[in-house]
């Protein structure tokens, strides 16, 4: 197994990455697990892809190991694409997602069901030990429910629905098959499969 640094402190995100990439012989670990402090990286890009690269490059420069970073968020059509790249900072960076979800539902309270369309987007940037950059982006279309449901997932999953079911109510396998991150990681898997000798 080859260790890849995953530039995240989100354990659930790490598990998703591990489920999809493990068949390639990749062992995803956080920098903290390797005793490396990535510090605070300023995500000042204007797109998910730019922010994913910023995080990946900062981690690669510190670790010198293969790195995977992602930037993802929820884009709501009725809100002109908000919260978008500011999804984690919506309602305050340190506010729990229950608060962020409450704010989102309040903003959408007068929006009819047929206009509550949204999508999740996930940009993944991988930097191999050679310095080669692989960038992919996945998307999942859905709607914002009127209220949260389900007790799985994380982030905005309780209110993001596909075919009437929230991401938080899906099994891990179902979510991997449908989700923006699952789509992006499968693209990354296909790219890495042809480069196994490079890691």
What does the alpha-carbon distance between residue 187 and residue 199 come to, in Å, rounded to a whole number?
A: 17
The three-state DSSP-derived secondary structure of the chain is CEEEEECCCCHHHHHHHHHHHHHHCEEEEECHHHCCCCCCCCCCCCCHHHHHHHHHHHHHHHHCCCEEEEEEEEEEHHHCCCEHHHCCCCCCCCCCHHHHHHHHHHHCCCCCHHHCEEEEEEEEEEECCCCCEEEEEEEEEEEECCCCCCCCCCCCHHHEEECCEEHHHCCHHHHHHHCHHHHHHHHHHHHHHCCHHHC
The yes-or-no answer on residue 37 being catalytic is no
From the candidates 40, 70, 71, 157, give the one annotated as an active-site residue.
71
**Which residues are catalytically annotated?**
71
């Amino acid at each position: 197994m080859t260790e890849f640094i995953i530039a995240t402190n989100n354990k659930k995100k790490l598990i998703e990455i591990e489920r999809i990439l493990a068949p390639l012989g990749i062992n995803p670990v956080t920098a903290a697990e390797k005793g490396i402090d990535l510090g605070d990286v300023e995500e000042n890009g204007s797109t998910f892809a730019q922010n994913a690269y910023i995080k990946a490059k900062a981690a690669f420069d510190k670790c010198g190991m293969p790195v995977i970073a992602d930037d993802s968020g929820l884009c709501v059509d009725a809100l002109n694409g908000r919260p978008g790249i500011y999804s984690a900072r919506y309602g305050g960076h340190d506010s729990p997602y229950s608060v962020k979800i409450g704010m989102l539902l309040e903003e959408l309270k007068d929006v009819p069901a047929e206009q509550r369309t949204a999508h999740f987007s996930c940009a993944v940037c991988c930097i191999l030990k050679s310095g080669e950059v692989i960038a992919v982006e996945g998307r999942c279309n859905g709607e914002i429910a009127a209220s949260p449901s389900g007790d799985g997932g994380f982030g905005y999953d309780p209110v993001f629905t596909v075919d009437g079911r929230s991401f938080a109510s899906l099994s891990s396998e179902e979510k991997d098959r449908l989700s923006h991150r699952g789509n992006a990681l499968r693209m990354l898997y296909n790219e890495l499969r042809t480069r196994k000798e490079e890691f």
